A and B are shown apart, each in its own frame.
Chain A
Amino acid sequence: GQQVMQIPQYQHVQEGEDFTTYCNSSTTLSNIQWYKQRPGGHPVFLIQLVKSGEVKKQKRLTFQFGEAKKNSSLHITATQTTDVGTYFCAGNNNDMRFGAGTRLTVKP
């Protein structure tokens, strides 16, 4: 079945440094979604990418969908302490499957 792999599992950065998490699927996806889960909270939808090669930005966050629609990335520029949390990708190919998530910690 469909598998969605996400790396790294953990990332610890100094405030102001950049951060990237990567998501790879074993199959071509129709779309991919990204979610953020704050410590103690539940996942909250960030964005959905649908088109091959699509790039979307939300302030300091940049989301990319690969040309083959099998991989995606989330890049945060100049991290802040408010970025702390776990970032999940969720790939859709008839079924929606979540990656294991990348836990980001930010040192002030």
Chain B
Amino acid sequence: GAGVSQSPSNKVTEKGKDVELRCDPISGHTALYWYRQSLGQGLEFLIYFQGNSAPDKSGLPSDRFSAERTGGSVSTLTIQRTQQEDSAVYLCASSSWTGGYEQYFGPGTRLTVT
């Protein structure tokens, strides 16, 4: 596609349920990032993938969070047993070379845990 896409755009879930957020990066981009942004706050790094290398998971806040990237393209961020503090906008970004080129951000998924 022309840009990074994310789905769903909005997700409302009950506390304790699992959710999956999807990111489709720009075709050919080898690096993919996930960030979390709470209302009015900065970007909290979660995880990034670079090609076939092991992902950098250092930003994941707890073991309820996990992500995978299949075939070096689409990525899924999974949050298990959601909590109210997980409510935020989850942004995905891709770039053609990690750290060296600009990151293109998707529109984000707004997650609300009730």
- A-side residues, CB < 8 A to B, are 1, 6, 30-31, 33, 35, 42-45, 48, 86, 88, 90, 92, 94-101, 103
Contacts and interface: CB of A to CB of B under 8 A. Distances in A.
Contact of B43 (A30, A43, A48, A92): A43
Interface stretch (B10-18, B75-83, B99-107): B99-107
A44 B104 CA distance: 7
B74 to A, nearest CB: 19
B41 interface: yes
Chain A, interface SS category: strand
B99 A98 contact: no
Nearest to B35: A98
Contacts, number: 50
B28 interface: no
B105 A103 contact: no
A100 B98 contact: no
Contact of B45 (A43, A94, A97): A97
Contacts of B99: 30-31, 92, 94-96
A96 B98 contact: yes
B67 interface: no
A44 B108 CA distance: 13
Given A31-B100, A92-B99, A95-B99, A42 B106 contact: yes
